[in-house]
Structures are given as structure tokens and as C-alpha cells.
């Protein structure tokens, strides 16, 4: 199909606003619900770390990726310096780069302006990325950027509200509810991180990271996350190279 025909199909399938709204509707789904429950946990975590509601809501909007925020709050909890915190967050966010690399060719139409792609890339995080790649085949190419704008912006705004609401309720919670709330973040990532691993090296990296995190927390607090990430990642990558060489031989 030529671009012109594709554009005509898109026009027949509905205008930009209709597809924006379909993107909004796509955020009210099971993945969206799971994400909101993870943000309930994150609000409890940030509150416990001593952040204010305004700081936490600001963080949700401006950083968006949940692993990056959990690492940032972890760094704030261990009283890390700005530079070390930025380095740890940057390491945890590298994963976004290949995700954006993967979604851009799917989303781009020949007439799409560059700044639109840069602006939309802010919404890239695990949930919106998974939902978008799943739904794009049913979205006309010329409507994919507005669809993704509706999906991404809605997820961000909903979870900013979720965090604000949980923050204001959390002070009156009985301890048992608080305990259940703080368990949400680690078990959400324990499961979703395993599912998002692309290759065996990702699963190994996760196991190494789980084991090394607490060890480095005891022997090298302050650089524990960086040390566990670099060493665990290096070990998993080493295994990846070794296994590939053995498969070839």
C-alpha cells in the first residue's frame, strides 16, 4: 500500500481525535490496572523515604519510568550524592533506549515530524510500550502517534492522581495495610522484570542482582546498587558470550 492510500485508509478509519481517544481507552486495561497497583506501592515507598506529595507527583510526571523512580528513591534513602544517584538512575534507564529504538520505526509515518517523536518518547516505559506494540497492528500508521499520545499521556496523568490520593490516605493506614503496600513494589518488579527479559542473560542478570544487592548493601553501602548492577550484569553477559561460543563450537 502506498503512503497516500494508507493515509486515505486512515481518514476513513477515523480522524486524529478518535484515535487519540482510542489510545486513552487502551490505558484502561489489565496492564494499566497492574501499573496503577504498582504506583500505589510506589507512593507508599516515596512517603516512607520522606518525600513530600508534591515532590513525588512531580517525580512521577517528569521521570515516568518506574524502575528509575524506585532506584532514585532508593538512592535518596541511602543518602547518596547527586552524582552517584544520577549515575545509578541512568544505568537503570539504559533499558529505555533499545525500547525506543524498537518503537520509533513502528510509530513513524513519512510525514511525522522529529519533535513529535522526541516528545512522545517521554511516555516510553514498560507498560505503554507493551500495550502500544500489541495494538499498533490495528491502528492505521498515520494515526499511531496520536494513539500513542492518548495512551501515554493518560497513563501518566492517572498515576499522578493515584500517587496523590494514596499519599494523602497513607498517614491513616493501619500498619498491616502499610506492610502490604510496601510489598507491592518489590513483587511487581520481581514478576514483571522476569517476564520482560529478552534473553537468558536477562534472567541470569536478575538472579545475580537479587543475590548481590543485599551483599553489597552490607559491605559497600552507598555504591551498593551500582556495584551489584555492574558485577551482576557483567557476569550475566560473560555467560551469554560463553554460551554462544560453546553453541558455535
Partner 1 sequence: MSFAAIDAWWWPYLFILLAGWLATDCWRYLGVYLGDRLSEDADILVFIRAVATALVAAVIANLIIFPAGALAATPLALRIAAAIASFLAYLAAGKRVFVGILAGEAALLGGIFLFG
By CB under 8 A, what part of segment 49-88 binds partner 1? 49, 51-52, 55, 58-59, 62-65, 67-72, 74-77, 79-82, 85-88
Kindly state whether residue 132 participates in binding partner 1, applying the rule CB under 8 A.
no
Kindly state whether residue 198 participates in binding partner 1, applying the rule CB under 8 A.
yes
**Identified binder of partner 1 from the candidate list 2, 195, 246, 247, rule CB under 8 A:** 195
**Identified binder of partner 1 from the candidate list 6, 13, 18, 48, rule CB under 8 A:** 48
Of the ranges 5-13, 140-148, 153-161, 227-235, which one interacts with partner 1 (CB under 8 A)? 227-235
Of the ranges 10-18, 144-152, 158-166, 211-219, which one interacts with partner 1 (CB under 8 A)? 211-219
Distance CA 210, CA 95 (A): 18
Of the ranges 5-13, 20-28, 102-110, 136-144, which one interacts with partner 1 (CB under 8 A)? 102-110
Map residue 15 onto helix, strand or coil.
Answer: coil
Question: How many C-beta atoms lie closer than 10 Å to residue 95's C-beta?
Answer: 17
Question: How many C-beta atoms lie closer than 10 Å to residue 46's C-beta?
Answer: 29
**Distance in Å, CB of 8 to partner 1, minimum:** 26
Map residue 49 onto helix, strand or coil.
Answer: coil
Burial class (CB in 10 A: 0-12, 13-18, 19+), 41: buried
Length of the chain: 249
**b/e code 98-115 from CB counts within 10 Å (16+ = b):** ebbeebeeebbeeebeee
Of the ranges 5-13, 17-25, 143-151, 185-193, which one interacts with partner 1 (CB under 8 A)? 185-193
Kindly state whether residue 162 participates in binding partner 1, applying the rule CB under 8 A.
no
Amino acid at each position: 500500500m502506498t503512503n497516500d492510500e494508507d493515509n486515505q485508509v486512515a481518514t476513513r478509519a477515523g480522524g486524529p481525535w478518535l484515535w487519540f481517544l482510542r489510545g486513552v481507552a487502551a490505558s484502561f486495561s489489565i496492564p494499566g490496572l497492574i501499573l496503577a497497583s504498582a504506583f500505589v506501592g510506589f507512593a507508599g515507598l516515596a512517603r516512607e523515604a520522606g518525600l513530600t506529595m508534591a515532590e513525588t507527583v512531580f517525580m512521577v510526571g517528569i521521570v515516568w519510568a518506574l524502575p528509575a523512580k524506585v532506584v532514585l528513591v532508593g538512592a535518596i534513602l541511602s543518602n547518596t550524592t547527586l552524582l552517584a544517584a544520577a549515575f545509578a538512575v541512568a544505568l537503570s534507564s539504559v533499558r529505555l533506549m533499545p525500547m525506543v529504538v524498537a518503537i520509533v520505526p513502528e510509530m513513524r509515518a513519512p510525514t511525522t515530524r522529529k519533535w513529535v517523536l522526541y516528545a512522545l518518547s517521554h511516555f516510553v516505559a514498560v507498560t505503554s510500550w507493551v500495550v502500544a506494540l500489541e495494538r499498533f497492528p490495528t491502528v492505521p500508521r498515520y494515526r499511531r502517534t496520536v494513539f500513542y499520545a492518548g495512551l501515554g499521556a493518560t497513563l501518566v496523568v492517572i498515576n499522578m492522581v493515584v500517587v496523590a490520593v494514596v499519599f494523602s490516605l497513607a498517614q491513616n493506614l493501619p500498619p498491616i495495610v502499610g506492610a502490604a503496600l510496601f510489598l507491592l513494589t518489590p513483587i511487581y518488579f520481581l514478576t514483571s522484570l522476569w517476564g520482560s527479559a529478552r534473553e537468558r542473560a536477562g534472567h541470569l542478570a536478575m538472579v545475580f542482582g537479587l543475590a548481590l544487592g543485599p551483599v553489597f548493601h552490607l559491605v559497600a553501602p552507598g555504591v551498593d546498587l551500582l556495584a551489584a548492577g555492574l558485577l551482576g550484569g557483567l557476569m550475566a553477559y560473560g555467560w551469554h558470550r560463553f554460551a554462544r561460543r560453546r553453541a558455535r563450537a
